[in-house]
């Protein structure tokens, strides 16, 4: 199978691991991967068992569902309580806990909350239910944002009057810079997300290499991609040759997807945004421009919600999202917090760090015989 088997080639993986072991790096190195898919595949394929012990891979805030703030979930729940209003959402999001409930629990009470696989599906739902308001919960990074923007453009073009949007769309480069200010993490390099980079290209990361002297490598998601990305970063660190490398050249162009960027610029303005467990990050959020305000549910049906306090202090998702601790260091992990009964968002999403650790850590991988061969 082209583009699958060749990126899972055991011989090539062994060669790369040998090169990594041969590098003259002996001090602990912290590499943060800023993508939930990297987190999952790092454990799914047993890459954690192949690297030298002094190479520490940190899971970052690369799960869009995980970083959707509690206030956003609480608003979505409040809108679901409005008569003749349909809430549409991606599947993982409905299980994410708000302050004292979740969309899944509200759906069990009879709220009209529907799972969609694409934001464009909401157009059909709106057309099929002309007497009701339809609300789409837009969650994601630069990967998802263009599709949401296209849905908004199509809604305007077709003059659909009953489709609205509540957004929690985030930008990745600003949160990477934010995390560099956390001295407890001590990041030595970034494994950058391939999907996001396919949209934004290489340039948006260059300030990290130039201003902060932290190497970056855009990497794909197969085992060979991830291991080669780590090798490239280690090489930069060893030789102090700091730049943004593009390992994922088969998909990511230097300039990115210019058409998608134009659509984002047309529909959204960039402002500060709240990240769950992280806080307010400058210029990290996408918001609807004034010319599309007619589709902003908060402008059409403003809510008066009091800020609630979450009493679930035992959940350590905030520290996990910042890369300060590993999931198993949370006292709830695998005891009372599991994928079936998640306490925090990191255990809900399949791209969440806690979910990935729970499902794959300590399990045999496709490369379990590596050390014995």
117 burial via Cβ count (<10 Å: 0-12, 13-18, 19+): exposed
The reported pTM is 0.89
Q: What average pLDDT values come out for the chain (373 residues) when binned by 10 residues?
A: 76 93 89 90 88 91 90 96 96 90 94 95 97 97 96 97 97 95 88 96 97 96 95 95 96 97 98 93 97 96 77 79 88 90 87 88 45 41
Q: How many CB atoms lie within 10 A of CB 125?
A: 17
Cα distance between residue 246 and residue 201, in whole Å: 9
| Sheet-wide strand order for 29-33 | 55-59, 29-33, 189-193, 216-219, 244-246
SS3 string of the chain?
CCCCHHHCCHHHHHHHHHHHHHCCCCCCEEEEECCHHHHHHHHHCCHHHCCCCCEEEEECCCCCCCCCCHHHHHHHHHHHCCCCEEEEECCHHHHCCCCCCCHHHHHHCCCCEEECCCCCHHHHHHHHCCCCEEEEEEEECCCCHHHHHHHHHHHHHCCCCCEEEEEEEECHHHHHHHHHCCCCCCCCEEEEEHHHHHHHCCHHHHHHHHHHCCCEEEECCCHHHHHHHHHHHHHHHHHCCCCEEECCCCCCCCCCCHHHHHHHHHHEEEEEEEECCCEEEEEEEEEECHHHHHHEHHHHCCCCCCCCCCCCCCCCHHHHHCCCCCHHHCCCECCCECCCCCCCHHHCCCCCHHHHHHHHCCCCCCCCCHHHC
C-beta atoms surrounding 321 within 10 Å: 28
Joined tokens for residue 76:
């979505």
Q: Write the pLDDT tens digit of every residue in 171-223.
A: 999 999 999 988 788 899 999 999 999 999 999 999 999 999 999 999 999 99
CATH H-level, domain 1-313: superfamily: HypD, alpha/beta domain 2 (3.40.50.11740)
* Residue found under tokens 């206030």: 71
How far from each other are the two terminal CA atoms of the chain, in whole angstroms?
25
Angstrom distance (rounded) from CA 10 to CA 249 = 21
Distance separating alpha carbons of residues 28 and 186, to the nearest angstrom: 10
8 Å CB contact between 187 and 32: yes
pLDDT of residue 1: 45
CA 76 – CA 97 distance, rounded (Å): 11
Q: Domain map of the chain by residue range?
A: 1-313, 317-360
pLDDT in tens, 322-372: 888 889 899 999 888 998 888 888 998 888 889 988 988 755 333 443 443
- Residues 321/330, Cβ–Cβ less than 8 Å: no
Q: What is the pLDDT of residue 2?
A: 63
């Amino acid at each position: 199978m082209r583009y699958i088997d060749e990126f899972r080639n055991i011989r090539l993986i062994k060669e790369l691991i040998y090169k990594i072991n041969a590098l003259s790096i002996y001090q602990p190195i912290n590499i943060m991967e800023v993508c939930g898919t990297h987190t999952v595949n790092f454990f799914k394929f047993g890459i954690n068992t192949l690297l030298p012990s002094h190479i520490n891979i940190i899971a970052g805030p690369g799960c869009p569902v995980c970083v959707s703030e509690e206030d956003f979930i609480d608003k979505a729940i409040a809108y679901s309580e409005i008569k003749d209003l349909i809430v549409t959402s991606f599947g993982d999001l409905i299980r994410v806990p708000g302050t004292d409930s979740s969309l899944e629990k509200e759906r069990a009470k009879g709220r009209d909350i529907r799972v969609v696989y694409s934001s464009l599906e909401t157009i059909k739902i709106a057309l099929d239910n002309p007497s009701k308001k339809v609300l789409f919960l837009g969650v994601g990074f630069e990967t998802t944002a263009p599709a949401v923007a296209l849905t908004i453009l199509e809604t305007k073009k077709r003059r659909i009057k009953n489709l609205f949007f509540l957004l929690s769309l985030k930008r990745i480069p600003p949160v990477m810079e934010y995390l560099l200010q956390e001295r407890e993490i001590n990041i030595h390099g970034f494994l950058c997300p391939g999907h996001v980079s396919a949209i934004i290209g290489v340039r948006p990361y260059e300030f990290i290499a130039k201003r902060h002297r932290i190497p970056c490598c855009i990497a794909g998601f197969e085992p060979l991609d991830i291991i080669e990305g780590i090798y490239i970063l280690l090489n930069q660190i060893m030789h102090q040759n700091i730049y943004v490398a593009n390992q994922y050249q088969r998909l990511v162009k230097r300039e990115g997807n210019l058409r998608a960027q134009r659509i984002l610029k047309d529909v959204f303005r960039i402002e500060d945004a709240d990240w769950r467990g992280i806080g307010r990050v400058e210029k990290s959020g996408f918001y609807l421009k004034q010319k599309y305000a007619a589709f902003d549910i908060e402008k059409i049906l403003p809510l008066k919600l009091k800020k609630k306090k979450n009493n679930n202090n035992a959940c350590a998702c905030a520290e996990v999202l910042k890369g300060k601790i590993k999931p198993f260091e949370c006292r709830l992990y695998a005891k009372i917090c599991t994928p079936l009964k998640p306490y925090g968002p990191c255990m809900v999403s399949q791209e969440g760090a806690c979910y990935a650790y729970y499902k794959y850590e300590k399990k045999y991988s496709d490369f379990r015989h590596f050390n014995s061969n």
